[in-house]
């Protein structure tokens, strides 16, 4: 099953509301093949910032200049000149890049350390990276050696020592780092392990298993999310979402069309007017619902949006005004941006009119696109 089919199945199981923010599981897809060439989209307020630049990771961020991509450092200078068709985030000292239709890996000096040879490549985590060879997925080490043969129709990143994998049976289970199935393929779809549990799909319902494959919380939910800070979100048959604990006990009854995973004891929550605020683990609003879009808190701030609509083609909100608030709901950076992303390593990607680049936590542009164009 390819990633697009996996998403379609996930949407079918979860009855998702049509927004990528509301997915029960984010796509584990590091590639960012644009739906249209950069040159064919002239309006920067419509163009997704996701196609223009990446977040800072390990001191580097990829940027798209002309029709090539390279990497800037924390001074905004090119550390690796634009020369790749596509470029990914640095992870464990390496980043995937696309050259002449194939994916390989470079180091922080820009040297190609794993030759372009794969149809798709993913970030390294715990010394492993997913790659696609032909139509099958497997894993390589940092020497570029195949350590788990590409035999799967789909597979996930290793979390807590295990990764989901899909076989020709169209069922999923979990493998260890030798590639051996330690939980046999028996589920329609699987999530990543988090806090010792993973959600799985059985028929048209979701529940949770432990690392032995034992069902800990019976499949009873239309959809559910990963456990974070001891709680997880779930969706009932009425398409409302609430919160459970690790015993499967409902601690906050379903009352929202969608909520997010918890971080720092908070989660975003959308009400039935389509407005978003932030709740605590008791379901009480810490920040009242008044935004039309948001992300998750990162480095003490979160980007929030007034107005706008979700554009399925570029998978971003267009027509809104973005700014940043703190955990008390105070506006820290005014709503003056056409697009905005989370802070990573002290910088956030934004679009303002014809300009795009990176701002600091005071809202000042540190690097602008005209510095590279």
pLDDT at 101: 96
Averaged pLDDT, 33-55? 51
pLDDT at 313: 77
Global pTM reads: 0.85
Confidence of residue 255 (pLDDT cuts 50, 70, 90): very high
User: What whole-number distance in Å separates Cα of residue 29 and Cα of residue 156?
Assistant: 10
With 50 as the cut, is the pLDDT of residue 31 above it? Answer: no
How many CB atoms are closer than 10 A to CB 222?
A: 20
pLDDT at 21: 28
Averaged pLDDT, 272-288? 95
Residue 364, C-beta contacts closer than 8 angstroms, at least 6 positions apart: none
Counting residues of the chain whose pLDDT is more than 70, the rounded percentage is: 87
pLDDT tens profile 325-371: 999 999 999 999 999 999 999 999 999 988 899 999 999 999 888 87
């Amino acid at each position: 099953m390819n990633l697009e089919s996996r998403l379609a199945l996930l949407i079918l199981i979860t009855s998702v509301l049509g927004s990528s923010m509301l997915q029960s599981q984010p796509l584990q897809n590091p590639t960012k093949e644009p739906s249209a060439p950069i040159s064919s989209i002239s309006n920067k307020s419509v163009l997704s910032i996701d196609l223009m630049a990446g977040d800072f990771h390990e001191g580097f961020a990829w940027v798209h200049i002309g029709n090539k991509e390279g990497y800037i450092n924390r001074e905004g200078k090119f550390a690796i000149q634009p020369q790749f068709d596509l470029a990914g985030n640095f992870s464990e000292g390496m980043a995937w890049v696309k050259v002449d239709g194939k994916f390989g890996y470079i180091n922080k000096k820009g040297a190609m350390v794993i030759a372009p040879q794969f149809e798709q490549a993913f970030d390294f985590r715990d010394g492993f990276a997913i790659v696609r060879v032909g139509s099958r997925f497997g894993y390589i080490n940092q020497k570029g050696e195949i350590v788990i043969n590409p035999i799967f129709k789909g597979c996930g990143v290793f979390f807590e020592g295990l990764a989901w994998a899909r076989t020709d049976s169209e069922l999923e289970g979990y493998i260890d780092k030798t590639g051996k199935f330690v939980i046999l393929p028996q589920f329609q779809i699987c999530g990543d392990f988090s806090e010792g549990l993973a959600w799985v799909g059985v028929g048209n319902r979701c529940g949770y298993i432990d690392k032995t494959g034992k069902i800990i919380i019976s499949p009873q939910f239309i959809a559910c999310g990963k456990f974070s800070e001891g709680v997880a979100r779930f969706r009932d048959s009425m398409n409302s979402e609430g919160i459970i604990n690790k015993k499967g006990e409902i601690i906050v009854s379903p009352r929202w069309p969608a909520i997010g995973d918890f971080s720092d004891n908070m989660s975003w929550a959308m009400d039935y007017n389509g407005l978003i605020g932030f709740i605590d683990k008791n379901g009480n609003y810490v920040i009242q619902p008044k935004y039309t879009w948001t992300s998750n808190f990162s480095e003490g701030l979160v980007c929030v949006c007034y107005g706008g609509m979700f554009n399925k083609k570029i998978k971003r909100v267009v027509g809104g005004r973005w700014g940043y608030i703190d955990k008390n709901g105070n506006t820290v950076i005014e709503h003056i941006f056409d697009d905005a992303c989370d802070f990573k390593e002290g910088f956030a990607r934004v679009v303002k009119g014809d300009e795009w680049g990176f701002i600091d936590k005071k809202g000042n542009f540190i690097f602008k696109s005209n510095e590279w164009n």
